[in-house]
Amino acid sequence: MTNVTANNHCNEWDLLITDANIATMDSSIDAPYGAIDNAALAIKDGHIAWLGKQTELPAFDALATPIISAKGQWLTPGLIDCHTHLVFAGSRAEEFEQRLQGVSYEQIAAQGGGIASTVRATRAADHEALFVLAKDRLNALYSEGVTTVEIKSGYGLDCENELKILEVARLLGENHPVDVKTTFLGAHALPPEYKGRSDEYIELVCNEMLEQVVAGKLADAVDVFCENVGFSHAQTRRVFAAASKHGLPVKCHAEQLSNQHGAQLVAEFKGLSADHIEHLDEQGVKAMAVAGTVAVLLPGAFYFLRETKQPPIALLKQYNVPMAISTDFNPGTSPLCSLQLMMNMGCTLFRLTPEETLAGVTRNAAKALGLTDRGVLKVGMRADIAHWQISHPAQLSYQLGVNKLLNLWVLGRLN
């Protein structure tokens, strides 16, 4: 299969990668992984200008075009981590140890632990401290081939600190090769100062908080934790309605611990994704299928919390709901900063195939963020490209602990 640009200015390519096997992840190509073997790929102005069999390369000026040989190794789209809580301060390692010794979550919370401890630490940290902490985490993802990351707020739980988290996330995007998308998650948990007054807090989220987030252009989407230990279906609807008035797409932490029909609600708002979804029912799956809402699987939280109820993978496949996979990196329930580990867990815990997991961190993860310019390697898309020292794409889900990344291009730039 060959794709060429409309004007085909071959002599003006910024880079040509030859001798490659390419897992395009393009579902229109009738081959596993959308693979093209013995292929070449050209980059111009940060985007893919040509892609196809190397034998079908159009004539070009070899003296004027920089050429890199992939030496028979594999190219994939840059990986996308579509659900993270990357900006926070503090550690919950001692709580992890306590839980293993039999102390309940309720007891830990009564002692001031749990999410309240992360909120205290995050509120106490300034922009610089949060930036340094988050940059280290972002570097870890980048080293594994991640080129796009979503970062949620949710550990400030007041106007000043929710804005601070989003400002740090925006700053990370401006000062790091990884492209950062931000999500306002003010409705993550009830802050201690609003105990017993959840409706009043939701009023704050929908008005003062959201208005300042929009005024500062700090968020690309809005999220809510719709759960019996989070916010109700009615409260979630209020936040979604407020977000929609501001033209912001919505997503939802849904059906993680119980079925509150959050996935069906986010689908009603034509939302981007429903995330976690272990307790999702067929009615919710049908609603997501109709709305085009992506199911974001978070095997790290499933693993770390030692859950036993799996997401309804068979139903999602039956109704052709796209499945993304993400780290859910956070200090309490998924302190696992490795998207490749999530790919392995997607296979071992949820019985996905390696091809399904790679789709889950490329084209489906892009869809979960509302992005149409990445996640697939084809002409016109962003040149976010990972070059791997592997003999087959399944190795990305199979082997852990060995860095297989050789090169990484973000918007056509080798970093």
Portion of the chain with pLDDT greater than 90, in percent: 91
Q: What is the pLDDT of residue 11?
A: 61
Is residue 5 scored above 70 in pLDDT? no
The verdict on whether residue 259 carries a ligand-binding annotation is: no
194 assigned ligand-binding residue? no
Banded pLDDT at 114 (limits 50, 70, 90): confident
pLDDT for residue 1: 36
Q: How high is the mean pLDDT of the chain?
A: 95
Range with the lowest mean pLDDT among 100-104, 205-209, 247-251, 277-281? 100-104
> What is the average pLDDT across 16-20?
98
Question: End-to-end distance of the chain based on CA atoms, in angstroms?
Answer: 29
Task: Please give the distance of CA 162 from its chain centroid, rounded to a whole number.
Answer: 20
- The reply, when asked if residue 275 is annotated as ligand binding, is no
Number of H helices, E strands in the chain: 16, 17
pLDDT value for 407? 98
The yes-or-no verdict on residue 401 having pLDDT over 70 is yes
The alpha helices in 111-155, defined as continuous H runs, are 115-124, 127-142
Is the pLDDT assigned to residue 325 strictly greater than 90?
Answer: yes
pLDDT at 45 over 60: yes
DSSP state of 289: H
Q: Is 85 within any annotated ligand binding site?
A: yes
Q: pTM for this structure?
A: 0.96
Residue-level pLDDT at 156: 98
pLDDT at 4 over 70: no
Question: In 3D, which of 350, 365, 246, 368 has the Cα closest to residue 302?
Answer: 350
- How far apart CA 129 and CA 135 sit, in angstroms, is 10
- Domains assigned to the chain: 15-77+376-414 (2.30.40.10), 79-369 (3.20.20.140)
DSSP state of 220: S
Annotated binding residue at 333?
A: yes
pLDDT at residue 16 is higher than 90: yes
At CA 309, angle to CA 232 and CA 342, rounded to 5? 95
Is pLDDT at 109 greater than 80 in this prediction?
Answer: no
Task: Match 């309490």 to its residue by tokens.
Answer: 332
pLDDT at 187 over 60: yes
The predicted pLDDT at position 10 comes to: 60
- The string of pLDDT tens digits covering residues 344-375 is 999 999 999 999 999 999 999 999 999 999 99
Mark 238-266 as b/e (b = at least 16 C-beta within 10 Å). bbbebbeeeebbbbbbbbbbebbbbbbbb
Provide the pLDDT for residue 112: 81
Mean pLDDT of 210-237: 97
Residue by residue, DSSP assigns 62-103 as TTTS-EEE-TT-EEEEPEEE-----------HHHHHHHHTT-
pLDDT digits (tens, 9 = 90+) for 121-176: 999 999 999 999 999 999 999 999 999 999 999 999 999 999 999 999 999 999 99
* Residues 256-264, mean pLDDT to the nearest whole number: 97
Place of tokens 């893919």: 48
Please report the pLDDT score of residue 6 as a whole number: 37
What pLDDT band is residue 2 in, cutting at 50, 70 and 90?
very low
276 labeled part of a ligand binding site:
no
Query: What is the mean predicted confidence (pLDDT) over 398-410?
Result: 95
176 in a labelled binding site? no
Bridge-based pairing state of the strands 221-226 and 35-44: unpaired
Angstrom distance (rounded) from CA 313 to CA 411: 33
